[in-house]
A and B are shown apart, each in its own frame.
Chain A
Amino acid sequence: MRPYNNIDPYKIAEAFKLQIKETIAVEYSVPADDLMLLLDNKEGAYLSQEDPGAFCCFVVGKKNGFLYLVSGKIEKNGENLTNLKAGIVS
């Protein structure tokens, strides 16, 4: 049985929205208010197949136009999201 079967990545993204934005804000010096999670899109948040267990979420910079990816490790059945990292997708 695969771990994280019951985890809804969208709920995780909603619950940790601020930390997700903060990860990008600190790494790329972008104001958090200029960032928007793509939670109204079908593939906006997902569990990675490349890195099993990794949570991934798309975030758009509304002013600079960059599309970011934030990844993290889900712990305690969704209560914690740790080891957050950010990168630029496009």
Chain B
Amino acid sequence: MKAEKMEQSLASGQNDQKNEKEKQLSELPQNKDMDLVECPVKETNPEDLMEKKIYSAEKMAAELVEHNRQQLDRIENGAGLSSADIADVRREISLLEKIKRIGSAINSAVNDLKVQYYELFPPEDQRVDLWSEKSESEKSPEYAEFKERLIHEREIGRSLIQEARKKRNELFEAEGIFQMSKEDFATYFLPEEAENKANLKQGNTENCYVVAAINALSCSPHFEMICRSSMKKLPDGSWEVRLPLLSQDGQAITITLEELSPQKNRDFLKNDRGETNLSGAFDRFLSDPRMKLKPGEGKEGLRVLEAAFTKIKFGSVNRLAAEKGASDEVLLLFGGNNFKRFSFDTTDNQFESKREGLVMLNAKDRAYLDDFLENFDPEIYIATAGTRHDVGKIRRSYLAKGTEQRLSFGHAYSITGADSEKKSVSLIDPNNPSKPIELSFDQFKESFSNLKAVRVDSANLLSNIKILPRKELIRNVI
């Protein structure tokens, strides 16, 4: 019924509208009156004349879309329906999508015309070029300003997004039951002084992948919420941790203060075959010189996370067993279904590929990686990156491409940020977290061979927040 009323109103103006549209489209490339359309290019030769006609075509295309929008408003008002009814009809006929498709088709036609024009008349340096990709804003500040305004009109404002994130945190806080108080979180996880980042520094075991994952996780605005929901300091000083954090399927483990302390190394002075009493100098050189295996250095809460991963994965806080691994595995163990894996790796089983950087990814993965770097947001991603392995396993470090920055071979680093304007990535080294590293996107892609990241799944996060309190209630009752 509603659609019929709309159709009647539409039909009454449809024929006239159709004739007018056809007249406008057919006159686009030929109408001599377009010479009168204002255009910044001076008409001095045939190329300039063509440029002016394309400019006019673009302008008339925009006017055509606007004209049709106004027609639509007149038709809807003429139908005499309420706003809700109009919305129903729009939905039924997928109106907004159709309008967008029409707009895209018009723009596509004008762009095809431009491409053909440039094939005939390649731009020269001394001519005013309205559509140059490189220096548009330099040659026409008004263009840049207007384009910027159009972008802002489509996108939601940054201040609204910031406000929304604050509301989101309040929403999570209201829904969840936190095992750890805010005060305890500040005591055991946050830095003493505001300007220092409380990062974990790697101990003397080869668990850089765990430390890098924890430091990357601590950069996430969700870090406080997921830790407070699943970690609790007990009266005897030990910790109860439920892994995955903030998960319906979390398994509770206890980390004692002893498990946070250095432990005896059972491989002390043994070679990699487990042999001791070595006589040769070379054998002694290759033997394990570590009498004790130390945990990471940093705030107690971060050291608890390090120990909790090892205990859940290996059954005990066995620092030898936990040597060497993948950071995304750590992140997924911590986050469970609150995170989705998002990784790239050029180090497959091929021996040669271990020497290549992320630049050697296939075209599709390179596009994903570039998009990731240009849009990196700690609200959405938690990421680490791994360096190449040395083929001979003799050298310890190498210079990042085009820099004086030394990177350790086969080492994991935390990504703490990315700047899409400067095209740079910020990283920290688990061995030296107080000294951030900054590389350009290209230097990063040349120097690192894998990216191990996860993306936050807000739907599962919200779902887990709702269900977790009920499960806690049942556990307490039982």
User: Which residues of A line the B interface, CB within 8 A?
Assistant: 15-16, 18-19, 22, 26, 36, 38, 41-44, 46, 48-51, 54, 56, 58, 60-67, 69-71, 76, 79-80, 85-90
Cβ–Cβ contact A85 & B155, under 8 A: yes
CA distance A85 to B155 in the complex (A): 6
Cβ–Cβ contact A90 & B171, under 8 A: no
Cβ of B477 < 8 Å from any Cβ of A? no
The residue that B458 contacts in the complex, of A43, A54, A66, A71, with Cβ under 8 A, is: A66
CA distance A36 to B461 in the complex (A): 14
Beyond known contacts A65-B457, A69-B164, A79-B83: 15 more, CB 8 A cutoff: A26-B97, A38-B171, A42-B174, A43-B167, A43-B170, A51-B157, A58-B164, A65-B340, A65-B459, A67-B462, A71-B156, A85-B156, A87-B161, A89-B379, A90-B456
Residue of B nearest to A34 (CB): B459
CA distance A88 to B157 in the complex (A): 11
Q: How many A-B residue pairs have CB under 8 A?
A: 104
CA distance A50 to B161 in the complex (A): 10
Cβ of B69 < 8 Å from any Cβ of A? no
CA distance A88 to B163 in the complex (A): 12
CA distance A90 to B171 in the complex (A): 14
Cβ–Cβ contact B459 & A62, under 8 A: yes
CA distance A67 to B154 in the complex (A): 18
Residues of A within 8 A of B157 (CB): 50-51, 71
Expressed in whole angstroms, the minimum distance between the Cβ of B372 and any Cβ of chain A is 14
Cβ–Cβ contact A19 & B460, under 8 A: no
CA distance A61 to B455 in the complex (A): 14
Task: Mark out the residues of chain B between 437 and 478 whose CB falls within 8 Å of any chain A CB in the assembled complex.
Answer: 455-462
The residue that A60 contacts in the complex, of B165, B170, B380, B458, with Cβ under 8 A, is: B458
19 A/B residue pairs, CB under 8 Å, sorted by A: A38-B171, A41-B174, A50-B162, A56-B167, A58-B164, A60-B459, A64-B459, A65-B457, A66-B458, A66-B459, A67-B459, A69-B156, A71-B156, A80-B83, A87-B156, A87-B160, A89-B161, A89-B458, A90-B379
Cβ of B175 < 8 Å from any Cβ of A? yes
The residue that A88 contacts in the complex, of B87, B100, B171, B380, with Cβ under 8 A, is: B380
CA distance A61 to B167 in the complex (A): 18
Cβ of B168 < 8 Å from any Cβ of A? yes
CA distance A48 to B162 in the complex (A): 11
User: Which residues of B line the A interface, CB within 8 A?
Assistant: 82-84, 87, 91, 96-97, 100, 154-157, 159-165, 167-168, 170-171, 174-175, 221-222, 340, 379-380, 455-462
Cβ–Cβ contact B155 & A22, under 8 A: no
Cβ–Cβ contact B340 & A58, under 8 A: no
Expressed in whole angstroms, the minimum distance between the Cβ of A72 and any Cβ of chain B is 10
Cβ–Cβ contact A65 & B160, under 8 A: no
Residues of B within 8 A of A87 (CB): 155-156, 160-161, 164
The residue that A71 contacts in the complex, of B82, B84, B160, B457, with Cβ under 8 A, is: B160
Residue of A nearest to B156 (CB): A87
Residues of B within 8 A of A86 (CB): 156
Expressed in whole angstroms, the minimum distance between the Cβ of B118 and any Cβ of chain A is 30
Q: Known: A43-B174, A89-B379, A90-B379. Contact between A58 and B168, CB under 8 A?
A: yes
Q: Known: A65-B455, A69-B161. Contact between A41 and B171, CB under 8 A?
A: yes
CA distance A61 to B87 in the complex (A): 22
Q: Known: A42-B174, A89-B161, A90-B456. Contact between A67 and B168, CB under 8 A?
A: yes
The residue that A18 contacts in the complex, of B91, B162, B462, with Cβ under 8 A, is: B91
